[in-house]
Structure 1
């Protein structure tokens, strides 16, 4: 018997019509519980991401002076774009790990490299998102610095589902960005509240010498996975019961 693809959770078609529910209390509870049993793989993935970013910073410091990196807006924008491009495949891998965890599929740290399977679409999403954030920062910064921060928060929120759509569903970059914007706008206040809660939790995690980040950073990606499952649904393969392998796999 052939493997059968099934969707666990929501529906992309229905979510594009605004027909989905999202309980913040439930997604936070589920993300917390999932993180308890899936902490190590994501920590390993983050260490890979951190190492690559450290190398990038060291290279930039060797090419440019520290003073120029701190004072030149153009160099800061350049480094932001470069970081987005380099990190995109790994961030996609982390998001896919969180998505797998949301449906009970285990992962290993090496899964962070799975984003390289769709490297160019992920880079395109990251590049467009970063450029939009930079443009918004410049335009709204003319009004007031705080307005610029709000604009960047808004862009981050409305595009958060784009990378998961690329890495899990294989949606093209432009469609993924459009779908994310459309879906999230149906319940924008709830998504903004979710991000504000996350920001508060991150601040608390930093207080004890940053040790709380060991838990909080993996939980963020598990939370994204749970939200994605609830809103869009996760495609899994249901295997025959007499199969020697797991019944459900990605």
Structure 2
């Protein structure tokens, strides 16, 4: 006979602690833990990162080629002459906007995988599709975020960078806390404002790592990308907390009492 006992608990912070700023966010500790998770889960996590990157690149070039006759030729001419045809910058912006919106649910799934790692759970590549159940909400949040950043970039570019940072937790709030898109964006902004300086330092360092990785023909992205997602997961855990469920199974039979088995489950 088997009896299951389920118990929910919260790991890390909470919405209340996020809004009050009463949680620990050490830059060095976040980086150290993120690096540990990156190494520990590298071979199981890297395939999801690679699939997401390929998907984003494919959609980017499809969107670009729908606006430009031959994007490859344009890039070759830019490398030789340093000039771009009229309207090409706008085409790049639209292509970038398109891939971010279309791949948003898969991006959310990868974020959930990294968040699970920060909670001590293992993941499989197929879990990158876990964000699909939140497709509409995630796309709405992404659209609003990108539109606001686009408008801010026209007025004052530093504000666009701030909004990118301010909305960085919205996707996980939608998927893990089941929040509505606009509520998630506003909550993320309010919480980030409580720890703006350490968060800005963290993401500035990550931006520097991306630049360094690209200088080495992009090979370094194999480490920087999973590191980035793990940093996001750890920050989210410390700020808002992660809801986990302990399932204790008690196996009993007529001859002996059996063993008690426990497992931790996160339900996206």
Q: With the length of structure 2 as denominator, give the TM-score of the two structures.
A: 0.83
Choose between structure 1 and 2: higher strand proportion.
2
Are residues 1:161 and 2:164 paired? no
What is the number of residues matched between the two proteins?
Answer: 242
Provide the residue aligned with 1:8 in structure 2: 11
Residue number among 115, 123, 133 corresponding to 1:99 in the alignment: 115
Provide the residue aligned with 1:134 in structure 2: 150
Partners of 1:30 and 1:128 lie apart in 2 by 31
Choose between structure 1 and 2: higher helix proportion.
1
Q: Tell me if structure 2 keeps the 8 A contact 1:80–1:130.
A: no
Q: Cα distance, 1:245 vs. partner?
A: 6.6
Q: Cα distance, 1:81 vs. partner?
A: 2.6
Partners of 1:172 and 1:180 lie apart in 2 by 12
Provide the residue aligned with 1:209 in structure 2: 217
Residue number among 25, 30, 50 corresponding to 1:27 in the alignment: 30
Q: Secondary structure at the match of 2:147?
A: helix
Residue number among 247, 253, 256 corresponding to 1:239 in the alignment: 247
Q: Deviations over 1:145-173 (max 9, x none)?
A: xxx1x222211111111111111111111
- 1:167-182 mapped onto 2 (5 Å cutoff): 167-182=175-190
Q: Tell me if structure 1 keeps the 8 A contact 2:5–2:249.
A: no
Q: Name which of structure 1's ranges 216-225 and 52-61 shifts more when overlaid on structure 2.
A: 52-61
Larger Rg: 2
Q: Secondary structure at the match of 1:240?
A: strand
Partners of 1:199 and 1:113 lie apart in 2 by 26
Q: With the length of structure 1 as denominator, give the TM-score of the two structures.
A: 0.89
Give the root-mean-square deviation of aligned CA atoms: 2.1
Partners of 1:203 and 1:55 lie apart in 2 by 21
Q: Tell me if structure 2 keeps the 8 A contact 1:77–1:134.
A: no
Q: Deviations over 1:7-38 (max 9, x none)?
A: 11111122122222211111110011111111
Unpaired segments of 5 or more residues in structure 1?
Answer: 141-147
